[in-house]
Amino acid sequence: MSAIWGCIDLSGKGLEQDISGRMSKCISKYKVDDVRHLQSGNVYMACGIQFITKESHFEVLPYSEDSIFFTADCVLDDREKLILELNREISGEKLSSDTPDGRLLLLAYQTWGEAFGNHVLGLFSFAVYDQNKNEFHLYTDHTSSRCVHYYVEGSKVYFGTLTSCITDAVDNIEFDEKWMTACMATDNPTTLLFVGLTPFENVYILPYGTGIKAEYDKGEISVTKIKYYDPLSNIKMDKKLTEEECRTLFVDTFKKCVEDATRTDANVAISLSSGLDSSAVGSVAATFLQEENKPLYSYTSIPLKEFDHKHENKYGYWIDDETKGVEIICQKYKNIIPHFLDCEGKSALTDLDKLVDYLEFPSKAAINHIWMSEVYKKAVEDKCKIVLDGAYGNMTISYGDIFKSAYMALTEGKVITAGMQLSRYGKNIKVSRKRLLRIFCEDTFGAQKVQLDGFLDEELLRKELSKKYNIRETWEERFKRDGQSMKTIGQYRNNTVSPLLLQLMGIYKTKDGLFNGCIIRDPTEDKRIIELCLKLPYRCLAWDGVERKLVRSYLNEYVPDEIRGVISRRGRQSGDAVMRYEKYDNQDIRKNGEGLNSNLTRYFDTNKAIDVLKAKTSEDNLMRKVKILSCSSFLDKYGEK
C-alpha cells in the first residue's frame, strides 16, 4: 500500500520547484518503505510505498509514459482473474504473477475506462493525468477503504491520501465550520454527517465508488464527479434462492474474501475478540494459513486486572474480558498465536495528541484507540504486515435479529409469517409469545418516528451553528434513510452500504496503517460480501429462531459452537475506560479544563465544556470529555494552517 499525493497545473504552467518539499513534509511521521517523486513541467506526483506483497517490491510508481502520468495506492484481489482478462485484451505486453498491482490497475483503467470497476477488486486509490487531453482523474475504490482527497485553487488541482499534503502546500486553508459542527454534535464515535466534506474548507474526500474528472476551460477548473459503482441501484434481492444456494454462495464468497485479504510476503495478524465478526474472519483465515503451515497472530484487548466488571456491568450483559472465548478459538486452530493486551498505564488521553496529529481530524474514538494502537504496534513488532478485523460485520455478515426479519416480513404484508418467526424465536429463548409480541409491537410503533433525544449534544454545541447547518434535520433524514431499531428492506439495504461509515472506516484504516507500518483489512467490508448481502433474501439474516444466521448457521464448520451459541451476552472492549481515565494522566491539566485551545469557543459554550471536564468521570460523560479534548488538540495542531 501507499500514500499518494501530487499537484497538476492544468493551465500548462510549470510548477514551482519546492512543491515536492512542501507536499511531502508530513510523510515523515508515517512508516513507509520508500518515497518516490516524479516532477515534469506542470505535473508533480509522488508515492510513499509500503512493501506488503512480493509484487509490491517491483512497483514503478509514480509512472509516466508518453502523455500519461499515474500514481496509485493499491493492493488488488483476485489477481489471477484480472491478469487473464487483461492478457486477452492487450497486446505487446505479457502480464504474469510478478506484475505489480499498480501496473495492473493502470492497464485496467486504460483498457476499460470508467468500467474498470467491473474488473478490479481490492483496496485502491489512484490518480491519472493525460497531458494530451489535459484531463486529471482521481478515484477511490468500491468501498472507499483507501481515503483520498482533492483541492482546487486557481488552475491547480492538488490531491493526497493525507490532507496535510494539501494543507502544507497551500496557505490559509481554513477549518470547515460545517464539518466541525457535525463532528462535535454527537457524543459518540460518529464523526461524519455530510458526504465528501473534511475538516478543511474546500478540501474534499471521495466517497465510495467514485472519481472526479478535472478539466481547464476559460481560465478555471471544472470538476465532474463520476459514480462508477452503485450497488444499491444495480443489485436486487433474489428471493428465489434456495437455502442451500444461499449457504454455498455465502461460504464460498466469504472464504475467498478472507483468503485474498491474507496475501502478503510476511506474517498475518488479527484483532480478535469472542464476537461473531472477528471470530468468523479469524477462523477462516486460520484455516487457510494452517494449510500453508503459517501462523496467525491474534491480539485481544482485555481490561485492567483491578477492573470490577460487576460494578460497571451490573446486569451481566457485557463480556468485558474475552480471554475465554478467544482461547476456545485457539483450541480449534492451533496455528493461532494469541496475545492478550491490558494496555497498562494508558487512558484515552495518553496518546490523544499523537492520534489527532496522524489522523488529521478530532477523533472521538480515542477510547477504543487505546487498544487498537497497541494491536497494530504489537503486530508490526511480530513482523506482521496485514492486520485483519471484522469491524464492518454488523452491517453485513452478522446483521440480523428476528425482530428485524419479522418487521421486514410485516412491511411486505406477510403478517402470519412475521408471527410464526416471533413464536419460534420465543420458544428458543424461553420467552412467552405474548411478551415477545408486546415488545415487538412497541419497537414497531417506535420505528415510525426518528428518535434523536440523547443522541445529539444540544447542550455544549453552539445552537446557532446547529441551526445554521440543519444538524437535527440532517440526522433525521439520515435515520429515515437507514432506519433505527427496526428497518424496512430498503432501509436495511441502505444501511448495508453506508457511505459515511465506509468513509470513516476508510480514513481510520488508511491512516492507522500508514502510521504503524501495516495495512488493516476487513473481509466483512469487501465489495463481494456487500453485494452478496444485498442479493440474499432477508430470511438469511435471521429466521426460524436463529439470529445473525450467516455466521451462526452457515459458518458452523469454522466458528466454534461455544462462540456461535452465545446469544444473551455480547463482548465489548474498553469497559474499563472510566477507570483508566481516572487513574492515568492526571498530570495533564486539560482534564481540569485548563490549557484548552481558545478557539473552542467557536464551537462550544466553553464554560459548560469546562464544567464537563471538571465533573466526576462516568460512563455518561466520558465520551463528551474525550470529544472536547480531542477538538482542543486538533485546534492546537492544525489551527495555524
pLDDT at 419 over 90: no
Q: pLDDT digits over 602-621, tens only?
A: 999 999 999 999 999 999 99
* Count helices and strands in the chain by DSSP H and E runs: 25, 19
Q: pLDDT digits over 137-176, tens only?
A: 999 999 999 999 999 999 999 999 999 999 999 999 999 9
Q: pLDDT digits over 176-189, tens only?
A: 999 999 999 999 88
CA 269: distance to chain centroid?
18
| Domain range annotation of the chain | 2-229, 234-397+494-577, 586-638
Would you state the pLDDT for residue 445?
A: 67
Q: Write down the residue that cell numbers 470538476 correspond to.
A: 223
Q: What's the whole-number average pLDDT of the chain?
A: 93
Q: pLDDT digits over 264-273, tens only?
A: 999 999 999 9
pLDDT at 103 over 50: yes
Poorest-confidence range of 344-348, 368-372, 398-402, 481-485? 481-485
Would you state the pLDDT for residue 482?
A: 87
Q: How far apart are CA 575 and CA 577, in angstroms?
A: 6
Residues facing 150 on adjacent strands = 159, 204
pLDDT band (50, 70, 90) for residue 641: very low
Cβ neighbours of residue 445 closer than 8 Å, sequence gap 6 or more: none
**What average pLDDT does this structure show over 479-505?**
88
pTM of the prediction? 0.94
- For the chain, the first-to-last Cα distance in angstroms comes to 28
User: Considering only CA atoms, which of 255, 139, 127 is closest in space to residue 526?
Assistant: 255
**What average pLDDT does this structure show over 447-455?**
74
pLDDT at 560 over 70: yes
Same fold, 2-229 and 234-397+494-577: no
3-state SS of 333-392 is CCCEEEEEECCCCCCCCCCHHHHHHHHCCCCCCHHHHHHHHHHHHHHHHCCEEEEECCCC
Q: pLDDT digits over 511-530, tens only?
A: 999 999 999 999 999 999 99
Q: Does domain 2-229 have CATH number 3.60.20.10?
A: yes
pLDDT band (50, 70, 90) for residue 359: very high
CATH of domain 234-397+494-577: 3.40.50.620
3-state SS of 140-183 is ECCCCCCCCEEEEECCEEEEECCHHHHHCCCCCCCECHHHHHHH
User: Bigger pLDDT: 432 or 202?
Assistant: 202
Q: How far apart are CA 173 and CA 168, in angstroms?
A: 9
